[in-house]
């Protein structure tokens, strides 16, 4: 029975892992849907964010990274989450805070769960691919132009840190 269960779980994970990240959608903070398939062929840096976190200042660096590389094709997607109890109460408050405080104009998802049983399918896919699960806010996942996970970084890694910008530049060169 355990062997059958293990094989079934492996088959489910294999089937789920076969779903390329570009097929994933997020609810947009502006209403509607953000479809990663719209960014097929482009690298996408997905970052779980929060407005009331010690790392919230990274929004400025995310915008700077986006400004630096967007013309070359980089997409930076902010995914606000209250999983660590540090997000504002509504998407409208998050949007206003980010625009007023940091001048953000990058794509932003609505408030989204990134951990546990209610984690967004993107984060389930990343976990199945790499074992990576956000342990706090401002974890970064770089998706390549082919839809695969290139690299992941934790909260302490600045969006402008050399490992991130090197990986972004390499991904852009290959897209």
Domains located in the chain, CATH noted: 20-174 (3.40.30.10)
- C-alpha angle 24/88/93, rounded to 5°? 85
Radius of gyration of the chain (CA): 16
Tally of residues, the chain? 175
Q: pLDDT-based confidence at 174, cuts 50/70/90?
A: confident
CA atoms within 13 A on the CB side of 152: 15
Mean pLDDT over 101-105 rounds to 94
pLDDT in tens, 34-91: 999 999 999 999 999 999 999 999 999 999 999 999 999 999 999 999 999 999 999 9
pLDDT of 44 reads: 96
Tokens of 16: 């789920």
Q: Are 67 and 147 in contact (CB under 8 A)?
A: no
Tokens of 100: 């007023």
The residues annotated as belonging to the active site are 53
Residue 92 has pLDDT above 90, yes or no: yes
Residue 13 has pLDDT above 90, yes or no: no
Running DSSP on this structure, what letter comes out for residue 108? B
Adjacency order of strands within the sheet including 140-143: 75-80, 44-49, 140-143, 149-153
pLDDT in tens, 136-173: 999 999 999 999 999 999 999 999 999 999 999 999 99
pTM value is 0.87
Q: pLDDT-based confidence at 21, cuts 50/70/90?
A: low
Mean pLDDT over 12-31 rounds to 64
Q: pLDDT-based confidence at 11, cuts 50/70/90?
A: very low
Q: Is the dihedral of CA 59, 30, 109, 36 positive or negative?
A: negative
pLDDT of 23 reads: 74
pLDDT of 1 reads: 39
Residue 123 has pLDDT above 90, yes or no: yes
Q: Are 138 and 48 in contact (CB under 8 A)?
A: yes
How large a percentage of the chain has pLDDT more than 70? Answer: 87
Strand ranges in the chain using DSSP code E only, listed in sequence order:
25-27, 33-35, 44-49, 75-80, 140-143, 149-153
Comparison of pLDDT for 148 and 11, the residue scoring more: 148
Comparison of pLDDT for 113 and 15, the residue scoring more: 113
At 26, which helix (H) or strand (E)?
strand 25-27
């Amino acid at each position: 029975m355990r062997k059958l269960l293990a094989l079934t779980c492996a088959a489910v994970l294999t089937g789920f892992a076969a779903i390329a990240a570009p097929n994933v959608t997020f609810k947009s903070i502006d209403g509607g849907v953000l479809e990663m398939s719209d960014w097929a062929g482009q690298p996408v840096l997905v970052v779980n964010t929060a407005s009331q976190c010690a790392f919230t200042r990274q929004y400025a660096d995310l915008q700077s990274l986006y400004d630096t590389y967007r013309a070359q094709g980089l997409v930076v997607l902010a995914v606000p989450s209250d999983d660590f109890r540090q997000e504002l109460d509504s998407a409208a408050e998050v949007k206003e805070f980010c625009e007023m405080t940091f001048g953000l104009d990058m794509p932003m998802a609505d408030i989204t769960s990134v951990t546990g049983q209610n984690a967004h399918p993107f984060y389930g896919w990343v976990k199945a691919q790499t074992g990576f699960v956000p342990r706090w806010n401002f974890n970064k996942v770089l998706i390549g132009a082919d839809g695969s996970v290139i690299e992941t970084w934790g909260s302490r890694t600045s969006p402008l840190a050399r490992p991130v910008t090197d990986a972004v530049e390499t991904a852009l060169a290959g897209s």
